[in-house]
Amino acid sequence: MGLLISSFWRAVLYCLHPKVILLSLLPLLLAMGAAGLLAYLFWQSAQEALLAVLDASVFVTTLAAWLAAVGLPALKAMLAPLILIVVLTPLVVVCTVLLVSTLMTPALVRVVAERRFPTLERRHGASFVASLGWTLISCALALVATIVTSPMWILPPLVLVLPPAIWAWLTYRVMAFDALADHASSAERQTILATHKFALITMGFVVGFLGAMPSLLWSMGLMALAMAPLLLPFSVWLYTVVFVFASLWFIHYGLAALAALRAEHEAELFVPTRPLTEVEVLPAINKASASDLPPIP
């Protein structure tokens, strides 16, 4: 628990480091630029196309008539943009994780290692290609889980649990792997992921619920939906900040756990588990004494 909390505060402070801020600019500008451009080019047309599909639905027409009868005609206008937001949010989350993992995490690992663990040996347990493949597979699985569970999001308790749980699993799986990919060997990485699994999953859930906070932007109702082309890049910025913090948190925790694991192994190698007996000590002394004698001519 001490390592979990100390790593948390170190990650918060490192988010304010000038070098970390500079490193975050590239994925942030790419993500916000792409989101803003797509929203500008396709938001209105996508909304109109979806509204045409909804108008052709007997169920939606009946629902709209009932809403108008009870004095809520504006809810029909909210339906199309709301569906688009629900569909786009998981894609934004997954793309943000992918950008941070690919463009930022290796550089953040170097920053943390140089400042806190300059003597920690790099054993290159996973290459960049392996790390990228792991991230892509994890993102694909998270999207599949999102699609499969999305019908259950209409239930109020589940919509507060399922999306953060999916993002928690994605964060834990990607960030923990990337934090150890360069410094830990494959065996060391597997040992740490198994030994610290509960703490790492807890970190994932904290980040998962933090990642759900940008979705609250859309709770402002019609105003938020009308401003969606502007709010979408802003929400991307919030997601980027959350996942940069998550990456730093996992890096601090993972490298500290790796340093402790190696220190423990070195102690086991050099410290005897019991006092040596006279029978074990004398042969060693005699051998050392014999090695000190000059060679026989």
Mean pLDDT by 10 residues, the chain (297 residues): 89 88 79 75 77 71 66 63 75 82 88 91 87 90 87 73 84 90 91 92 88 64 59 76 90 93 79 52 43 41
Give the single-character DSSP code of 274.
Answer: S
Q: What's the gap between Cα 161 and its chain centre?
A: 17
Residues 86, 30: Cα–Cα separation, whole Å = 22
For 92-128, b/e burial (b = at least 16 CB within 10 A) is bbbbbbbbbbbbbbebbbebbbeeebeebeebebbee
* In contact, 163 and 145? CB cutoff 8 Å: no
Extents of the domains making up the chain: 2-41+89-269
* Nearby residues of 84 by Cβ (< 8 Å), 6 or more positions away: 43, 46, 47, 50, 228
Give the predicted TM-score (pTM) of the model.
Answer: 0.76
As a whole number of angstroms, the distance between CA 81 and CA 44 comes to: 9
DSSP string over 97-146 = HHHIIIIIHHHHHHHHHHHH-TTPPP---S-HHHHHHHHHHHHHHHHHHH
